[in-house]
A = this chain, B = another copy of it.
Amino acid sequence: MSVQVPKPDHCIDLGVGQPDPALLPTALFSDLAVGWQDLAYGEHAGDRGFRQHLAHWLSGEYQTPVEPQQLFVTTGSSGGLDMICSRLARPGDVVLVEEPSYFLALMQLVEHGLKPVAVPMDRDGLEPAALEQAIRQHRPAFIYSIPTYHNPTGITQSRARREALVALARQYDCPLVADEVYQCLYFAEPPPPPLACFDPQAPVLSIGSFSKILAPGLRLGWLHGSGEVLGRLLGSALLKSGGGLAPVTSALVNPLIEQGALQSYIAGLRQTFRARRDCLHDSLSAALGGQLELNRPDGGYFLWAHLRDGRDIRAHEPRCRALGVAVKAGPLFSVRGGFRSSLRLCFAWYDEAQLRAGAERLARALDGGY
């Protein structure tokens, strides 16, 4: 076996938003078997037994009933978004996105010829009045939102805000695609349920994934939604030709859900990531509190920080490189080139010692000025 993607040797890259390889639950995957049913072409929506276990687990997790027929098993969140881009939109269409938003989702939209148009956020997430105005103005193919532990800002939409957004999706019959891959990674209270839980008549698709809570190499995730909009994906020729998207990988994960191993593993991740969030936050505050405004997200993977003096973070990049540290610069997350003084920092990929070392290096790089 070869290392598929190694960590860099001489740089603590706080820009990388991946789970720590050292935390991957290898032991859960050490004694596997799949049956002939899993080796054959599978049900289009995903294996029924797997969807039953997944729905049961999610119902408890969300404190809201989820039915197996509301779930479509995918090849992870980016695979799900890819199908949405090619099946629910056509090149030239507008997609409304948060400003800022997940940079690789923005790239995926552009790659499909779609035009991301920014809608502002407030401390409760996407602003409904601005969203409604943008829907009327642009008639978008869909809205792409990150409701929980937003990437990069860490903001979580309140329950009332979720209700308002879902109501708009229904009123304008505009699909609302919610990227909820951090939903289960809460550090204290669980967040409000995913957008797909609010109104079964609304065209809402919640994107879920095992990448951040189990193992990205599985390329396994799900779409959660109901009615017409899910049906448009399930009727795809891709599924008619290839069958379900993940018979074998879902069979590997099925017993982990059924026996509770997934749930135990996630509980451990919450503890670990909470401690890592505190570690990175406190290290940076201690070293750079005067220069850096920092959030303290209630879950997820990322801190979102701002240089108080308004300088462009990209001007610091050569010095960061020289000192062996990296971050993701704010403009990457903006369709307008905004957030020039902002940076995203991931606390999931490294352990606490490395996070402290990364924070020290970053402090030296930023202190050094231009």
Chain A residues within 8 Å of B, Cβ to Cβ:
1-5, 18-19, 21-22, 24-26, 29-43, 47-49, 75-79, 82, 85-87, 90-91, 104-105, 107-108, 110-113, 211, 215-219, 236-238, 240-249, 251-252, 254
State A85–B237 Cα separation when bound (angstroms). 12
Query: Bound state CA distance, A19 and B243, in angstroms?
Result: 13
Q: How far is the CA of A7 from the CA of B196 in the complex (A)?
A: 34
Q: Which residues of B contact A22 (CB under 8 A)?
A: 36
**How far, in whole Å, are A242 and B216 apart by their CA atoms in the complex?**
8
- Say yes or no: A18-B41 contact (C-beta < 8 A), given A82-B238, A219-B246: yes
- A238 partner, pick from B35, B108, B243, beta carbons under 8 A: B108
Within the oligomer, what is the number of copies of this chain?
Answer: 2
Across the two chains, which residue of chain B brings its CB closest to A44?
Answer: B5
Cβ A242 vs Cβ B211 within 8 A: yes
Q: Which residues of B contact A248 (CB under 8 A)?
A: 215, 217-219, 249, 252
- Cross-chain contact A34 with B32 (CB below 8 angstroms): yes
- 23 A-B residue pairs with Cβ-Cβ distance under 8 Å, sorted by A, are A1-B37, A2-B47, A2-B48, A4-B42, A4-B43, A4-B47, A4-B244, A5-B40, A18-B40, A21-B37, A21-B40, A22-B36, A24-B40, A26-B39, A39-B216, A40-B215, A75-B219, A75-B242, A82-B86, A87-B111, A104-B240, A108-B238, A111-B236
